[in-house]
Amino acid sequence: MRQGIVPALLCLSFLTGCSQHVEEKQVDYFKLVRPEFTGQLAYETTDFVEDYWRVVGNTGFNKTIYLIADSLKTAGYVLEEKAKKGNRFTYRIEKRAMTHQTWEPLFASLQIVGNEKPLLLSETNRNMTYLNSVSTPKDGLKAAVAWIKTVDELESVSVKGKVVFAEMNVRKLYKSAIENGALGILTYDNPAYLQPEKNTTSIQFRSLPSQDDGNFWGIALSYAAKEKLIAQLKKGRTDVLVNIQTKRYPSEELTIVADIKGNEFPDERLVYSAHIQEPGANDNATGVGTQLEMAKTAAKLFTENKIDFKRSMTFLWGDEIISTNRYIQEDPERAKGIKWGISLDMVGENTAVTGGTFLIEKMPDPSAIWTRGKDKHSEWGGEVLKLADMKPHYLNDFIISNFKKQGEYANWVVETNPFEGGSDHTPFLQANIPGLLLWHFTDKFYHTDNDRIDKVSQETLKNVGTAALVSGLELANASDVFAQAQIENLKKRANLRLEDEAELSQSALKNGSSFKEEEQIITAWEEWYLSSLNSINDINTNNNADIKAAISKAQKEIQAKSKELKASLK
C-alpha cells in the first residue's frame, strides 16, 4: 500500500508539525480512509444529538457542542487557549451574547373537549409545538375554535379569546390573529412531498418569531389530527383543551471550531460546516456526527504518519448559515485564505425508508438556468439564475467525480441537483468562495417528527464521510499532480456535457426552439468549463508553465468541440 506523505524521521511530539520537507507523492487517500472511517462514531453521535429539540443556546444545542469538544479532545485536538506553538490540531468554543432568549419544549397536548383521548401528545409528536411558543397555564386552557379559511376572514369573524384553526402557512396568519385577540393558532401545512395521507402522523415543525415578552403560542397538526378536527368542526361548535409547557431563558450562542494547521500554506484552508439546530436526526444530527468522525479520522491518520496537511482544514459546527457567514465575515484576512467550503446537511439517510437520494448540490452552473435532461431540481426548488450568477470552478466536477468513485466502490447512488441554496454553502458563494452542499432529498420525513434515528443509515454516513474526507485531503494537499488530474477531469466532463447538451438542443429545435437559444446554451457551458479550467491556477502554487500550457490546450480542445457541435445544430 502506498502510504502517502511519510516523514523520513518520525515526529516525536503528538499532533505537532515536523520541520523536515518531504517531496510530494501521489496518494490514494481512499485506501487510507476506507479502513478507518466506519460510520460508527457518526452514527453514535447522531443518536445522541437527535434526542434533543435543538435551538441555539438551549440544552440540546449546548450538550452537542460539549460532546463534540470531548470527542475532539480524545482524538488529540488541543484546546486553543492551552495549545503550544507546535500543536497543529486545535479547537475552540466561541461564546457570544444572544439578543433573544433561547427556547425549548417540555410538554404539549391537544384535546377536543368531550373526547376521551388527546388529539396530539408531544410524547409521540414532538414537533407539534411551534418554536418560540409560550406556555399555557399549567393545567392548560380551554377555548372555542374559530375555523378560518382565508386571512381576510380574521377581519370579519370574531376570534377574540378563541383558538384559530387554518390550513395555511403561519406567516400569513399569526400577526392578524394576535391583533384580533386570538389566544393561539392551530395550523396544518404539510407539503405533498411528505406524502401526508400515507404518513398521517407526521408533523413538520413550524416557528413563531422570538417573543421574549409575548404570550402567543401555536400547534402544528398532523394530517390525521387535522382530519379529526375538521370532522368535529363540521358538527358545530368545537372547544379544545390546550396544554403547552416550554422554557424561555437567557443563554449564550456557542460555536465550535476545530483546526488542522497546514505545514506549507497554513493561511489557505478548506472549511467544512455542519449546523446543529433543528430537531431531526437526518436534519442535521447526521451532518454533525459525520463531520466529527471526519475530524477524528484525520487526526488518527496523521498520528500514524500516513497523511499530512499542506493547507489547513477547518471543521465548523454552529447555527445554520449564521455561524458560517460569521466565520467568513468577521475576519477578512482569514477569509482571503478560504479556498473551498463544503456543507454537510442531511447526509445519513436510509434511502430505502426515506425515499431520498444522496445529492451534491452544485455551485451555480448553467443547469441552474436551463434545467433539462438528467438535471432536475429537488422538491425544495430553486429560482432560475442568470449568466452573471455562474460560479465556474473545478470544485464541482472534482467533488462529483470523487463521490461517484465511492458510489461505484460501495454500490451507492450519487446524484446531483442544480443550485438551490438554503444551507451553509450559501455564505461561501456569497463571499465568492467555491462552496457546495452534500445532502439528501426528497425525504418524505423532512423536518417532521418522524425524522428519527430509525431513518438513519450507518452505511450512508460511512460513504458520505469517506468521500468528503478523501476530497478534503486531496484539496488540502493539492499539488501539480492534482492540478493535472483536474485538467483531464474537466476536459472529459466538458466534452460529455457539450455532447449531451447538443443532443438535447437537437430535440429542442425539432420542438420549436430557436437556433439562437440553443447556441446560447452550448456557449454557456463552453464558457463555464473554460473558466473552470482557469480556476485550477489557484493551486498552481509554483506557477508551473506545464500546468498553464495544459490548461490552454484543454481550453482549445473544448472550444473546438463546442464549435463543431454548434455547427451540427444548423
One-character DSSP codes across 79-101: EGGG--TTB-EEEEEEEEE-SS-
Residue 215 main-chain phi, psi, to 5 deg: -140, 30
Instruction: Give the least confident one: 3-7, 329-333, 341-345, 402-406.
Output: 3-7
| pLDDT for the residue numbered 169 | 86
Note whether 68 and 256 are within 8 A (CB): yes
**Percent share of the chain, pLDDT over 90:** 91
CA 190, CA 401: separation in Å to the nearest integer? 36
Looking at the predicted structure, is the pLDDT value of residue 104 above 70? yes
| Amino acid, res. 442 | T
Looking at the predicted structure, is the pLDDT value of residue 13 above 80? no
- Across residues 179-200, what is the average pLDDT? 96
Looking at the predicted structure, is the pLDDT value of residue 375 above 50? yes
- Across residues 483-512, what is the average pLDDT? 98
Alpha-carbon distances of 427 from 207, 433, 454, rounded to whole Å = 23, 8, 32
Residue 92 main-chain phi, psi, to 5 deg: -145, 155
Residue with cell 483536474: 486
Grid cell locating 566: 454548434
Helices (H), 384-538: 394-410, 426-430, 458-476, 480-510, 515-535
Q: What pLDDT band is residue 25 in, cutting at 50, 70 and 90?
A: low
Note whether 256 and 65 are within 8 A (CB): yes
Looking at the predicted structure, is the pLDDT value of residue 3 above 90? no
The closest of 361, 327, 389, 339 to 528, measured between CA atoms, is 389
pTM above 0.75, yes or no: yes
Strand pairing category for 78-79 and 357-361: unpaired
| pLDDT for the residue numbered 541 | 83
- Across residues 359-383, what is the average pLDDT? 96
The closest of 257, 320, 337 to 292, measured between CA atoms, is 257
Looking at the predicted structure, is the pLDDT value of residue 262 above 90? yes
Query: For 43-92, what is each residue's pLDDT tens digit?
Result: 999 999 999 999 999 999 999 999 999 999 999 999 999 999 999 999 99
SS3 content of the chain, % helix, strand, coil (to 5): 40, 20, 40
Looking at the predicted structure, is the pLDDT value of residue 19 above 50? no
| pLDDT for the residue numbered 24 | 55
CA 172, CA 295: separation in Å to the nearest integer? 43
Please state the length of the chain: 570
Q: What pLDDT band is residue 20 in, cutting at 50, 70 and 90?
A: very low
Q: What pLDDT band is residue 353 in, cutting at 50, 70 and 90?
A: very high
Query: For 217-255, what is each residue's pLDDT tens digit?
Result: 999 999 999 999 999 999 999 999 999 999 999 999 999
- What contacts 560, CB < 8 A, 6 or more positions away? none
Instruction: Give the least confident one: 131-135, 210-214, 431-435.
Output: 210-214
Q: Which helix (H) or strand (E) holds 295?
A: helix 285-303
Instruction: Give the least confident one: 8-12, 207-211, 518-522.
Output: 8-12
Residue 423 is classified by DSSP as S
Grid cell locating 121: 401528545
| pLDDT for the residue numbered 239 | 98
Q: What pLDDT band is residue 10 in, cutting at 50, 70 and 90?
A: very low
Grid cell locating 559: 472550444
- What contacts 517, CB < 8 A, 6 or more positions away? 508
Residue 448 is classified by DSSP as B
Note whether 261 and 299 are within 8 A (CB): no
Query: How far does Cα 11 stand from its chain's mean position?
Result: 37
Average pLDDT, the chain: 94
Query: For 300-335, what is each residue's pLDDT tens digit?
Result: 999 999 999 999 999 999 999 999 999 999 999 999
